Amino acid sequence: MATKIILTVDEGLTEQEIADLRFLLSDALGEFAAARTPAKEYVKGRYPDEKEYYAYDGKLAQVERRNLLAEKLHNAALRFEVAE
């Protein structure tokens, strides 16, 4: 089942800005996931002492979820539609 995400830009966008936005969003999502993959290494780098960071397992699960979401949205960002 498809999910629609609505982003409202109050000032409107030019055709060039719309084209640029497709790549900006896609690039940002791709770079987000790339910087956090593998998730275990990312979390260990951010929180080197697992014992001091009590929510380590939860943080690892969160990073993994967000990476999967970024991957899911990456291609959708290239195909988004604009409605006036």
Question: What digits encode the pLDDT tens for the residues 19-74?
Answer: 999 999 999 999 999 999 999 999 988 888 766 666 888 889 999 999 999 999 99
HEC sequence for the chain: CCCCCCCCCCCCCCHHHHHHHHHHHHHHHHHHHHHCCCHHHHHHHHCCCCCCCCCHHHHHHHHHHHHHHHHHHHHHHHCCCCCC
**So where are the chain's domains?**
15-78
User: In terms of pTM, does the model score above 0.85?
Assistant: no
